[in-house]
Amino acid sequence: MERTPQIKVENLSKVYQMGEVQVKALDDVSFEIYEGEFVVILGPSGSGKSTLLNIMGGMDLPTSGRVLIAEEEITKYNDTKLTAYRRDKVGFVFQFYNLMANLTARENVELAAEICKDTMDIDEVMAEVDLSERKNHFPSQMSGGEQQRVAIARAVAKNPLLILCDEPTGALDFKTGILILALLRKINKKLNKTVVVITHNMAVGDMADRVIKMRSGKITEIKVNPEPIPPERIEW
């Protein structure tokens, strides 16, 4: 039976006007992602990864082209619908965690879930990221890896359709980075959540079901890994 893609990116372009100069951050980008896939978008700095993630996450609009999420064209949504999309359908994980310093780990997760409709049980999610013992700590009392686990819990608790991660291991040492990737993979498999990770780290591609390579705003290769390796075996 033919599978329907969960995410369809069609002929997406984004041009930034910088005075007299036009910067083509995305140049006719098209691909598909299926539900439950772990996808890595790989490319060097400036290749357009963040621009692409921002459009997929409803934080920015393309100059042309469209993005369909579960057969809904988000690129023609008005502001109100885009806000609802970002709030209910997408979990975000950033390089620098972006936690609220004056809230505990649990409160950070709870706050994000509070504004959503169909959320997960907060304590179950805290257990899932192995932070049950530390949920009453403040971010300043936690390591970088622990703070990133809180950020992942915050994304997951919303029970989103997809989880978008922008360089999630960028601020972490190698060993902690691997643990974070392993956690994202576990959540992807156990909860059947689509996870999209953008990174410049080529080695991370080996753990993905689908690797989308970019350069200068264009896709240079899309590879489906028949046998992705466990994150624990990645080396960089």
Residues that bind ligand ATP (CB under 6 A): 16, 18, 23, 25, 43, 45-51, 200
- The nearer residue to ligand ATP, 200 or 213, going by C-beta atoms, is 200
The answer to whether the CB of 188 falls within 8 A of the CB of 231 is no
- Is 113 within 8 Å of 106 (Cβ atoms)? no
Nearer to ligand ATP among residue 50 and residue 169 (C-beta): 50
We find the least distance from the C-beta atom of residue 74 to ligand ATP, in angstroms, to be 18
Smallest separation, CB 2 to ligand ATP (Å):
32
Q: How far is the CB of 166 from ligand ATP (least distance, A)?
A: 8
Q: Which is nearer to ligand ATP, 63 or 176 (CB)?
A: 63
Q: Can you tell me which residue has the tokens 């059947």?
A: 192
Helix (H) or strand (E) holding 224: strand 218-224
> Which is closer to ligand ATP, CB of 1 or CB of 18?
18
Q: How far is the CB of 114 from ligand ATP (least distance, A)?
A: 30
Helix H or strand E encompassing 155: helix 144-157
SS3 22: strand
Number of Cβ atoms within 10 Å of the Cβ of 126: 22
Q: Considering the complex, state which of residue 153 and residue 172 has its C-beta at the smaller distance from ligand ATP.
A: 172
Phi–psi pair at 64, nearest 5 degrees: -155, 165
CA–CA dist 177, 226 (Å, integer): 24
CB of 67 to ligand ATP, least distance (A): 15
